[in-house]
Structure 1
Amino acid sequence: MGLELRGRHRERETLDRLLRDVRAGRSRVLVLRGEPGVGKTALLDYLTEHAPAGRVVRSAGVEPETELAYSALQQLCAPLLEHLDRLPEPQRDALSTAFGLSSGRPPEGLVIGLAVLGLLAEAAAEQPLICVVDDAQWLDRMSEVILTFVARRLDSESVALIFAVRGTVLDGLPDLLLEGLPDAEARALLDSVLPGLVDTRVRDRIVAETRGNPLALLELPRDLSPAELAFGFGQSTREFGQSPRGFGQGPRGFEQSPGGFGPGPRGEASVAGRVEETFQRRIAALPEDARTLLLAAAVEPVGDVPLLWRAAQRLGVGPEAAAPVEAAGLVEFGARVRFRHPLVRSASHRSAGAAELRAVHHALAEVTDPERDPDRRAWHRAHAAIGPDEPVAAELEQSAGRALARGGRAAAASFLERAAELTIDPEARAARTVAAARARFASGAVGAVPELLAAAELGPHDPVRQAEIERLRARVAFAANSGRAAVTPLLEAADRLRALDPAAARATFLAAIGAAVNAGRLGGDDLRRVAEAARTVPAGDEPAGRLLTAFTTWSLDGHTAAVPLFRRALAAVTPADDLDLHWLAGMAEHEIFDHTSFLSRTEQAVTLGRREGLLPSVLTFRATALIYSGRFADASDLIDEAGALAYATGPSPHPATVAILAAHRGRTGPALEAIESLRVEAEAGGVGWLIGVAGYARAVLHNGHGDYPAALAAARQATGHDDLAVLQWGLAELVEAAARTHEMDLAEAARDRLAARADASAGGWARGTRALADALTGIDPDASYREAIEQLTGTGLDLQTARARLLYGEWLRRENRRADARLQLRPAHDAFATMGAEGFAERAARELLATGETVRKRTTGVRDELTAQEGQIARLAAAGRTNPEIGAVLFLSPRTVEWHLRKIFAKLGVTSRRELATAV
């Protein structure tokens, strides 16, 4: 029933080129965009007919299926599941669980995405694979998320993934916009369906007002009488366009612009609307049993013909009803039901009354197997219900549980919302509504949660349920804005939770403190206000309770009083605890100079995240730790990985880490751009903590280049507020910049503030920082510098150790102790050069030259020819990671990793992974 493919030379060339690339071993993604009827499906048919000798799999979004998790994805992957056993076990288990093939832990979308990516790669290992997804605007949410992720990570697997879509779904992927046919092609297509004599003006008007839309050209003339086609008017010889049934404003003709097919307020949507109207009129002309059969086919989403005939029998409709429907050119009944166009399905829906729709859903529910397809059966029963129906609501609740077990949170929310609508008992209705809100929040649809919570509150005020409502409300507030705007809603929620759930109240007060910490200098007295309120809640021994005690003490009584409480709290936070706790815990570890624990915590977070599904923030959390350890390349890899993940799943990498790394690298242009972007984001979001980070990063950048006046101004900004962790970072920069600009009063004041904090904390970082500040301000510099280097060595703070050596070497050189200076400056320069801290490396090189030493520029070799991604793969392979493990880290298929490794080996002149360690 496909349309003849006329014209489309540009489009066919694009598809032919795509197929050539796939045959050559590359993967390609393309989204065909256009209005209904413009020929997207015809181009998909062209593609599959001209595909290379290989495998073609097809799927399509179906409007009634948009609430069933993974329905389109499972349809696409079903023919490929013979390759499932080749996937790594975590991915294999995740995909099996998502598709209901086995039971297991609810899988995260990221792991499912990696599994689908691997499955497509394995299926394409021997011959190219063409994956076609039609009507992508009706993909269920999880299928859309997973397929978008896969589309952005395909590389060298010989896979083509082509979508057809109307609207902005799949935005950001390579696309091809389809418009109407050129006039000559449009006229030829129109002539192929026009009978006999047709008035030239009629033909011109049809071509102009359909804007060359092929479906409109084929369908709309069928709605006009021979007289209207031949002469442009109906029963009299009135002028063209004025006939009540011509192209004027009659109920059956084309409307004139601006309401018709031409440009006007209705724009492109009017083409689909007018075509759908012609389908509706054709449906209305059918016998009643034929209309019923068509409606049943429209409501049954997968084209299951035996199921459809069983439902029709329940409705009292026999097989003979199919003939008028097929004769009208609306649908074909073969091995599957195939509609003339999706607009026929929607036209059938709109033509039916509510009672007719309920009857069809009821018949389909009765013939759907409750064992094999319980969720679809429950969904049909829900649409068949007239009023409250507890048995159906209970079925929907069970379907929600199955959806959650498969990772389909959005689907679960839809089941629960409908279950609540069908529930008459107020308590059960409220409970289901809260469960729906929880599922919506987990699915990322935060904006839908407040309305559901408000509806739940109309029910009985059960204390446990009210506590859950308040907890969700608090989480929504923090998710919507983690800065100043979240403080008051979180504080109000915490106050309401006091009597309902003390542990939840403490967790919410801690979230409010986190928001106030984020707000920083933009929050006024928010932090004190929250801390004073939090102090009135009974203390708790759980991790959140311990952290709350420590943070209220830090906020109200100062750093020194809080240090032992922070140590006690940090010992209680385990890897399994919520990520928000780990963010606060990590910053607290820097507040008390405990980089060793921070390194360990971030490593555990990434390990756990890789197993259960990563968030970009987990990766940037780890990257921050690696920066201070001087592992810039590894930190950069994680930031790139976070960016790739965010591109596929939503939230962006934390901008603070990006700016801090750029500042330490010392490339002025990119660093200033990242810092300015951070500042703008901070002010827009009310996150004053980031303003402190921006000042600190700017100070690092300028100290690195020896521009001490600029560093001093930036450091003063960074230390203008007592920001968690950032204050002591900024104070260290302030001491150096002030000492080098001979602002000794300022340097000594900063040293005293820094010393008070360091003295309250034990450990090499604290003592080394104190000693370095003493040296810079003239307190026994020789001994203080040596003490700083000794204390910092072995802490994992290789960056700080190298900076201490640089400062000591500079002091020795100024003391005219050139030989001693070189002993410090050489390892400092080598360390900075290896890290990629270009500003500090240049500064060390200048000092070495001043001592009379020749500084050799680092030679460039084949390793510098590696792309950023190749560098990541090389380092991971050299560390002993397998291809599947590297693929999981970088969100690539193992076959793409292997393809890149072959290129890396050739560039580096090595033949095995064992040689990589030396080469990179």
Structure 2
Amino acid sequence: MASSAPRRGLRGRRGECGALDQVIAGARTGQGQVLVLRGEAGVGKSALVEYLVGSAAGCQILRAVGVESEMELAFAGLHQLCVPLMGNLDRIPGPQRDALSVAFGLSAGSAPDRFLVGLAVLSLLAEAAEEQPIVCVVDDAQWLDQVSAQTLAFVARRLLAERVALVFAVRVSTSAAAGEHFGGLREIVVRGLHDDDARALLESVVPGRLDEHVRDRIVSETRGNPLALLELTRGLSAAELAGGFGRPDARPLASQIEESYLRRIGALPAAAQRLLLAAAAEPVGDAPLLRRVAERLDIAPDAAAAVEAAGLVEFGTRVRFRHPLVRSAAYRGADPTVRRDVHRALAEATDSVCDSDRQAWHRAHAAVDPDEALAQELERSAGRAQARGGIAAAAAFLRRATELTPDSERRATRAAAAAQAAFASGSPDTALELLAVAQLSGLDDVQHARQTWLRAQIVFARRRGGEALPLLLDAAGRLARVDGAQAREAYLDAIGSAVFAGRLPEHVDVREVAEAARTAPPGAQPPRPSDLLLDGLVTWFADGRVEGAPLLRAALGAFKRAAEDGDDAMRWLWLTWLAAGDLWDDETWHELTTHAVRSARDTGALNFLPLALGYRAAMYVHAGDFGLAAMLIGEADSIVEVTGHSPMAYPALLLMAWSGDPRAETVIQNGIGEASSWGEGRAIGLGHYLLTVLYNGFGQYQNALTHGEQAMEYEDMSVVGFAFAEVVESAARSGVPEAAVVALRRLEERTGASGTDWALGVLARSRALLADGAAADRLYREAIERLERSRIAVQLARTHLLYGEWLRRENRRVDAREHLRTAHEMLQGFGAVAFAERARRELLATGETLRSRPVDVGGVAEALTAQEGQIARLAADGMTNSEIGAALFISPRTVEWHLSKVFTKLDVKSRNKLRAALSDV
């Protein structure tokens, strides 16, 4: 398994070495490569990594090693990898450069989004690879800090046309969460050697001739694990082996190998053991730092020679362990008192100016008793970590600060701050544990109120149903006595929770929550947009739509102005979107989602971008641009895959329903069932509404009516108003006029409170469905006129369809053809297949002859992928490759690669031809 002759390959690893050779070849030819080597400890991942490095002649090698004790330090692993490239920092776009500089502590600034940092790393690699292919190797990646793991996974999923290879070695059977970030990447599971290779390896290291029965037993017990074969037999003669070494042992091989290392470490002189422990506790491999530590610990220079002679570590320009298990054995096997002494020496030897956070971390590991001064230093480190975007690191610093705080009140305050940071970093279980610690101390009213709110927010984040409602109301009531502004926000959260809980009987009704929110303290003066939103929603739900509509319109206007002024108005997008939908306010939908997507792209906020893209995609579905909607949904899905956040199902289901996708019925029905189980009642109403749209498209009006009436059973926000219009149509077509009249009356209340052209256009069309003669004709024309002034093209097309159907039944075939032809062209162009087929059948019934053409749901050339189509649109709008790359979180070289394919598929030779080419398909 030695790496001294990599070109000869490794024993029994022909397939793995071949794959690594392909990785190098691909990177050299500009085809970005990613590979995960996944296997148990000692199975040969590190040897394969060394084979890769030895085979990469002419490439720049970047290395990082995950270290268990460094998992809490934000960007530690990423910094290891990127240090050699920092000379190219000035060559990447300014916002990316600034984000990376702040992340690495090179400059001060607001906390950068970790995925803007990821884009900076991608750009840094792409720039450096222009000069020389780059091979990035990350060993023990399961122990990377969370931010580094997420960032590198983000980069790995975007390597396409760069001369870069990124290889991770990840240990299986570990509880470390970081290893989960690399799921879905191309991987090779590294297994033990086949028996023949394992026997040959064993015989090559065992002195003398080994009895074949003993040999076979050892091969079987080690399961061909190369390191186990080498280490468990080290220093033993054939006679000793035959005497019973290698007895069956049910413990994991990693434990057995680590114990073999412990035995070897234990045989070293005490000074050599302390030096090895210091090297294990100092994760950067800084040889000068280690020499300073050795001096402080009175370790003689000959200790290094003893450790090297034992084959455990190499001391060169960097300190390198023979295997990661040596590091863990040296650290875990050390006496706790000695370990604290070593951390204390490391803290004293670490530069307090350049590396104050790592110094504080070592001091924290050296501490035994509570220490307020050290707790304060950890608190300052947490602040610096949070400023760099390392919220998980901030949580870790604050957690240790909590443990070291002697005063109970301060301990409660720090525990609460640690809980807030843990929740923000995506660790709700840890946050709840810390809240429990905070509550052990006496809490004042302010602390109790804020901690109750945080606990409620954690519950709501886990399940968007009504489980969090009692907690949110309790928190809001407590906050009302100590912090009016936060109390109002907690009441907004409570209303939102009630909205999502919806119809499920075990939850408090949203009207009751709105009545409770009336007791909130007055808002600030001048009022914040969120204050106006709370007042509007309280009136909307408690007093009625007519009274609440003006207040909601004022609130939405305030949010739009805030967005235009560059203020962060995105905290409440999930509620403002629903409020605008209930007001049939398509302009607000457009403005809020335009700003949300732009803001998220500009700041690299990938935690928020999928939500913004989802709502923007829904806007495009209503506008009839199904192709762009599909592209945005695809982009959101790819980001969710990277971040691990919960996907947003609504936009995709909306698109499926309007497209007439044959899979939609099953998918939506399954969604209704799941929503019932997880307690999100609004999703049930939404599912029934979408099924109503789907069945109306197919002309299955009785099925549409059945689901529409179920959608009408509860006043689900941004659902029920749209359902009324669908029910009017399905009931009228099913011959159930009484159901249509009921739905129309409720629709009149909704649309009357709105007053937008969208609302009044749909109302006029719905009235026309129940009218006759000249009245119906006038109402259909009014509906078309109003909807032409809105952004809701799908409803305009459907109105042409319904008008055409009515005209045909009135025997006005020539007039009918005009509107049916318009409807058919619009619906087919959108990709609304089922509705377009309705229009086609009606046209045929008028005697029209139609030549069918394939429907392109993508909205662009059928051959273009979703990403190609989006890049083509942005390029046609005049954006440069760098701007497109920054917007879509890919490198400029990848943009260029995609555009070359777009030019070929569209048969154009320059960007200025793209717009015309896209409009022709």
Secondary structure, counterpart of 2:354 in structure 1: coil
* Equivalent runs, 1:865-884 vs 2, <5 Å: 865-884=863-882
- Counterpart for residue 240 of structure 1: none
Do structure 1's residue 550 and structure 2's residue 550 form an aligned pair? no
Whole-Å separation in 2 of the counterparts to 1:157 and 1:9: 27
- Counterpart for residue 198 of structure 1: 210
Secondary structure, counterpart of 2:291 in structure 1: helix
- Counterpart for residue 13 of structure 2: 8
625-634 vs 858-867, which deviates more? 858-867
* Equivalent runs, 1:338-377 vs 2, <5 Å: 338-377=320-359
Q: Contact 2:63/2:81 (CA < 8 Å) preserved in 1?
A: yes
- Counterpart for residue 716 of structure 1: 709
Q: Contact 1:620/1:654 (CA < 8 Å) preserved in 2?
A: yes
- Counterpart for residue 649 of structure 1: 643
- Counterpart for residue 236 of structure 1: none
- Counterpart for residue 185 of structure 1: 197
Secondary structure, counterpart of 2:754 in structure 1: coil
- Counterpart for residue 892 of structure 2: 894
Shift of 1:52: 5.4
Q: Contact 1:487/1:526 (CA < 8 Å) preserved in 2?
A: no
Secondary structure, counterpart of 1:32 in structure 2: strand
841-850 vs 283-292, which deviates more? 841-850
- Counterpart for residue 171 of structure 1: 183
Choose which of 292, 300, 306 in structure 2 pairs with 1:310.
292
Alignment deviations for residues 559-587 of structure 1 (CA, whole Å, 9 cap, x no partner): 22321221232233333456452221121
Shift of 1:488: 2.0
Whole-Å separation in 2 of the counterparts to 1:155 and 1:568: 47
- Counterpart for residue 572 of structure 2: 581
- Counterpart for residue 586 of structure 2: 595
Q: Contact 1:639/1:653 (CA < 8 Å) preserved in 2?
A: no
- Counterpart for residue 94 of structure 1: 99
Whole-Å separation in 1 of the counterparts to 2:907 and 2:238: 77
- Counterpart for residue 613 of structure 2: 619
Shift of 1:856: 3.2
Q: Contact 1:389/1:423 (CA < 8 Å) preserved in 2?
A: yes
Choose which of 396, 419, 431 in structure 2 pairs with 1:449.
431
Do structure 1's residue 527 and structure 2's residue 532 form an aligned pair? no
- Counterpart for residue 7 of structure 2: none
303-312 vs 824-833, which deviates more? 824-833
- Counterpart for residue 517 of structure 1: 499
Secondary structure, counterpart of 1:100 in structure 2: coil
- Counterpart for residue 684 of structure 2: 691
Secondary structure, counterpart of 1:522 in structure 2: coil
Shift of 1:141: 0.7
* Equivalent runs, 1:295-306 vs 2, <5 Å: 295-306=277-288
Whole-Å separation in 2 of the counterparts to 1:725 and 1:859: 33
- Counterpart for residue 290 of structure 1: 272
- Counterpart for residue 754 of structure 1: 747
- Counterpart for residue 413 of structure 2: 431
- Counterpart for residue 598 of structure 2: 607
Shift of 1:689: 0.8
Q: Cα 1:848–1:914, aligned 2, differ >3 Å: closer, same or farther? A: same
Do structure 1's residue 119 and structure 2's residue 112 form an aligned pair? no
Choose which of 27, 50, 70 in structure 1 pairs with 2:75.
70
Figure out how many residues of one structure are paired with residues of the other and give that number: 889
Secondary structure, counterpart of 1:900 in structure 2: helix
Secondary structure, counterpart of 1:192 in structure 2: helix
Shift of 1:126: 4.0
Q: Please tell me the residue identity of whatever aligns with 1:719.
A: M
Choose which of 797, 800, 805 in structure 1 pairs with 2:795.
800
Q: Contact 2:206/2:238 (CA < 8 Å) preserved in 1?
A: no
Q: Contact 1:61/1:135 (CA < 8 Å) preserved in 2?
A: yes
Moved over 6 A (4+): 859-862
- Counterpart for residue 44 of structure 1: 49
- Counterpart for residue 237 of structure 1: none
Secondary structure, counterpart of 1:153 in structure 2: coil
Q: Contact 2:123/2:891 (CA < 8 Å) preserved in 1?
A: yes
Q: Please tell me the residue identity of whatever aligns with 1:819.
A: V
- Counterpart for residue 136 of structure 2: 131
Alignment deviations for residues 502-530 of structure 1 (CA, whole Å, 9 cap, x no partner): 22222112211111111111145432332
* Equivalent runs, 1:382-397 vs 2, <5 Å: 382-397=364-379
Q: Please tell me the residue identity of whatever aligns with 1:58.
A: R
Q: Contact 2:46/2:139 (CA < 8 Å) preserved in 1?
A: yes
Whole-Å separation in 2 of the counterparts to 1:719 and 1:890: 39
Q: Contact 2:833/2:855 (CA < 8 Å) preserved in 1?
A: no
Shift of 1:770: 1.5
Do structure 1's residue 561 and structure 2's residue 559 form an aligned pair? no
Q: Contact 2:511/2:541 (CA < 8 Å) preserved in 1?
A: yes
- Counterpart for residue 220 of structure 2: 208
Q: Please tell me the residue identity of whatever aligns with 2:404.
A: L
- Counterpart for residue 630 of structure 2: 636
Whole-Å separation in 1 of the counterparts to 2:853 and 2:913: 21
Alignment deviations for residues 335-358 of structure 1 (CA, whole Å, 9 cap, x no partner): 221112111111112321111011
**What is the TM-score of this pair, normalised by structure 1?**
0.94
Q: Contact 1:392/1:419 (CA < 8 Å) preserved in 2?
A: yes
Choose which of 724, 730, 751 in structure 2 pairs with 1:737.
730
**What is the TM-score of this pair, normalised by structure 2?**
0.93
Q: Contact 2:31/2:164 (CA < 8 Å) preserved in 1?
A: yes
Do structure 1's residue 322 and structure 2's residue 304 form an aligned pair? yes
Q: Please tell me the residue identity of whatever aligns with 1:89.
A: G
Whole-Å separation in 1 of the counterparts to 2:763 and 2:324: 72
Q: Please tell me the residue identity of whatever aligns with 1:364.
A: L
Secondary structure, counterpart of 1:571 in structure 2: helix
Q: Please tell me the residue identity of whatever aligns with 1:62.
A: V
Shift of 1:646: 0.3
Q: Please tell me the residue identity of whatever aligns with 1:650.
A: G
- 5+ unaligned residues in a row in structure 1: which ranges? 234-245, 248-253
Whole-Å separation in 1 of the counterparts to 2:741 and 2:871: 47
Q: Contact 2:206/2:237 (CA < 8 Å) preserved in 1?
A: no
Q: Cα 1:89–1:678, aligned 2, differ >3 Å: closer, same or farther? A: farther
- Counterpart for residue 29 of structure 2: 24
Shift of 1:834: 2.0
Q: Contact 1:437/1:453 (CA < 8 Å) preserved in 2?
A: yes
Secondary structure, counterpart of 2:346 in structure 1: helix
- 5+ unaligned residues in a row in structure 2: which ranges? 5-9, 173-178
- Counterpart for residue 107 of structure 1: 112
Q: Contact 2:160/2:894 (CA < 8 Å) preserved in 1?
A: yes
Secondary structure, counterpart of 2:64 in structure 1: strand
Q: Contact 1:71/1:143 (CA < 8 Å) preserved in 2?
A: yes
Shift of 1:457: 2.6
Alignment deviations for residues 235-273 of structure 1 (CA, whole Å, 9 cap, x no partner): xxxxxxxxxxx34xxxxxx342xxx1xxx5x4xxx2111
Do structure 1's residue 818 and structure 2's residue 813 form an aligned pair? yes
122-131 vs 834-843, which deviates more? 122-131
Whole-Å separation in 1 of the counterparts to 2:390 and 2:247: 44
Q: Contact 1:523/1:688 (CA < 8 Å) preserved in 2?
A: no
Q: Cα 1:512–1:85, aligned 2, differ >3 Å: closer, same or farther? A: same
- Counterpart for residue 703 of structure 1: 696
Alignment deviations for residues 668-705 of structure 1 (CA, whole Å, 9 cap, x no partner): 22x22432342233123211111111111111112112
Do structure 1's residue 841 and structure 2's residue 836 form an aligned pair? yes
Q: Contact 1:36/1:166 (CA < 8 Å) preserved in 2?
A: yes
Whole-Å separation in 1 of the counterparts to 2:91 and 2:793: 42
- Counterpart for residue 34 of structure 1: 39
Q: Please tell me the residue identity of whatever aligns with 2:792.
A: L
Whole-Å separation in 2 of the counterparts to 1:542 and 1:896: 43
